[in-house]
Structure 1
Amino acid sequence: MRYLGRFLLTFLLILPALAEAHGPTRQKLTLSVDVAAAPDAVWAVIGNFQDMSWHPAVFSTAGKGGNAVDATRVLTLEEAGGPTISEVLYKYDAAKMSYSYRITEVDVNVLPVTNYSSHLTVTANAGGGSHIEWKGAFYRGYPNNDPPANLNDEAALAAVGAVYKAGLDALEKKFGK
């Protein structure tokens, strides 16, 4: 009984330290926009995994595999020779107008995330037009405790949010509200 009491006392003293020692939590973000165009018209623009020319931050896309699972693409940002993001497609459903992909390689100074996955979906609105949803899940760019400000949860959420917003704003401009 004496050993049990010592164990419980030790456990209760260590417990607060264990609570402080956790690593990062998975962040989730969903942004969406409604546009005037029919879902088929929107999907014709964004449904090709190998073509992300609709996004204003993407200078070029190079890849292989088309829209098949395990297809890859490399996005060059801003200009020729600009930073790159490598991605792999892991789910594609043309009938449901949806695909899912993961980042396989990115410099955290370009996009401050790790273990990033994302889903892009187009659905019909009841009153006409389309609903475009872009959602992702990821960890911050710094996996340990006490991250620098540019690699913390807030920086990761802000950066991914800016990417999604720029893309959705461009689609809204193209297809109308």
Structure 2
Amino acid sequence: MASKKIGLLELISEDFKTQREGLLSQGFWALFVYRLSHPRMKCRIPVVRQLWGLANLLMLKFIEVTCGISLPEAATVGRRLQIEHFGSIIIHGAAVIGDDCLIRHCVTLGNKSSDRPMEAPRLGNNVNIGAGAKIIGNVLIGDFASIGANAVVTKDVPARSIAVGVPAKIIR
């Protein structure tokens, strides 16, 4: 799941090329704001971190309202994430998304319980998530797995498997 380290401009360029609609893609704008916001997590200068945090908050809320995509700066997003359609996409701040994943509209990557608020899904590389899917809790979705439309995933999905249904069942 680890990505090779590349520069911010190269990441943004990859994000732009990955989205089919180019500058008109709400997915690109959500990723653009995320890419500008995420480095703040490593900033050690308190006043810079606070001012950067305020700017991030305003930008992230603007993206939520205009694009319907909640992608917090604390989440870990790999390279070339493709957001196929915009709207009602909620990603938990502790979620991890690998490289070359595809997320469609109305997808939730979230926690399962208020008792364990920081447990969130981890997606491997090349994961394909269908429209309306909900992946909740501390689950691992293996590389090259597919999650069917409207599936509700609460358990790990092995690599190269398909999960469909409510609750999701694994098809190898």
Tell me if TM exceeds 0.5: no
Higher strand share: 1
Give the TM-score normalised by structure 2: 0.26
Structure with the larger RCO, 1 or 2 (CA within 8 Å, 6+ apart) = 1
Larger Rg: 1
